Amino acid sequence: MRLGMVIDLRRCIGCYGCQLSCKAEHGTPPGVFFARVLKSEEGRYPTVRHLFLPVLCNHCDDAPCVEVCPTEASHYAEHGIVDIDQDKCVGCRACMMACPYGNRYFNGERRDYYPGAGPTVYETARTLRHPEGVVMKCNFCRDRLAEGKLPACVANCASTARYFGDLDDPNSQVSTLIKERGGFTLHPEAGTGPNVYYLPP
């Protein structure tokens, strides 16, 4: 089984629901969004398109981050999920340099959302779980998967633009969508074998 995500750019409206539901799921510190939405424009006024591109860790088959990690903190977990063992991470950030997608974050010293006020009870309960001095990123919500739930960004997407499943199964919804709608990956030239696919807008 190789877990992957398909994002339908026709359905996506760039509402940032993924970006913020991811933050809500993981309680990440300031400056960290495992999932993001990028906006771009194509064409010239008035023949122009305003495009939204949600991005996250691509959980690559040949992940350069895993390759360069000196401590084996970045690793392939079950079903092709690329995760970071934060006990092993020494915060060298080689993986951040290696990732062609810029979807990794270094959690340096503690930052609070309300500077000077100390952490809120929410931040104490959620954000401070994330160890400092290590790299962090999307792990396809492994904790949720273990509970039989979909990743938060998929479960919450109000436009139902995100699909999740087994890319090894040719009959899975994700595989079918990629086949039928011409799914593509980002920066295929990097040769990393991403497991996040996009359907054209």
Partner 1 sequence: MTAAECEHQQRLSSEPRAGDDVWIPSACALCYGSCSIQVHRVNGVAIKIEGNPESAVGKGRLCAKGVSGLMVHYDPNRLTKPLRRTNPVKEIGVDPGWKEISWEEALTEIVGHLKRIRAEDPRKLVIQRTTTVTANKNPFQAFAFGFGTPNLSVAGGGLHCGNGAHLISGIMHASWGILPDFQYCNYAMYFGASKGHSAGHASTSNMGMAADARARGMKLVVFDPMCNFAAAKATEWVPLRVGTDAAAALAIGNVIANDLGAIDAPYLKGKTNGPYLIGPDGRYVRDKDGKPLVWDLMAGAARPFDGAAADDMALEGSFEVDGVTCRPSFALLKEHLRQYTPEWAEKITTIPAANLRRIAEEFAREARIGSTIVIEGVTLPYRPVAAIAFRGNQGHRNSVYNFLAVDLLNHLVGAADVVGSCLGFPPVVDGHPDSGRPHYVPVATPDGLMEVGQWMGWHHPYPVEDPKLPKTLGLQGLFPMGMVSPFLDAPDREHWWERFGIEYRPEMLINFGANLLMSIANKDTMAASLAKYEFIVSIDLFLTETSDFVDIVLPDCSYLQSVDSRSNFPTIFSHPAGMGDWSWPIRQPVLPPDGEQRRFADVLLELAERTGFLPDMIAAFNAILELEPPYRLDGGRRYTYEEICDAELKHNFGPERGLEWFRENGVIRWKKKPQEVYWRPFLDVRVPIYWEWMPDIGEKAAALADPRGLEMPLEYYRPLPDWLPCHSHEVEKPGFDFFAFYYRDTLHTNSYTMENAWLDEAAQLDPFSYNVAINAEVARARGLANGDLVEIESDTGRKITGRLRLTECIHPEGLGIAALANHWAKGLPTAMGKGVFFNDLLELDWKRTSPVNLNLDLCVKVKVTRAAE
Would you tell me which residues interact with partner 1 (CB under 8 A)? Answer: 8, 10-11, 13-17, 19-21, 23-25, 27, 30-31, 33, 36, 39, 41, 43-46, 48-52, 113-114, 117-118, 120-123, 125-126, 155-161
Complex with partner 1: residue 114 or 191, whichever CB lies closer = 114
Q: How many angstroms separate the CA atoms of 2 and 77, rounded?
A: 11
Q: Read off the tokens for 178.
A: 């990629």
Provide, rounded to whole angstroms, the least separation between the CB of residue 121 and partner 1.
5
Complex with partner 1: residue 156 or 185, whichever CB lies closer = 156
Q: How many angstroms separate the CA atoms of 133 and 135, rounded?
A: 7
Q: How many angstroms separate the CA atoms of 45 and 26, rounded?
A: 40
Selection from 171, 163, 143 nearest residue 78 by Cα = 143
Complex with partner 1: residue 2 or 111, whichever CB lies closer = 111
Provide, rounded to whole angstroms, the least separation between the CB of residue 14 and partner 1.
7
Q: How many angstroms separate the CA atoms of 193 and 95, rounded?
A: 16
Provide, rounded to whole angstroms, the least separation between the CB of residue 165 and partner 1.
18
Query: What 3-state class would DSSP assign to 164?
Result: strand
Provide, rounded to whole angstroms, the least separation between the CB of residue 7 and partner 1.
12
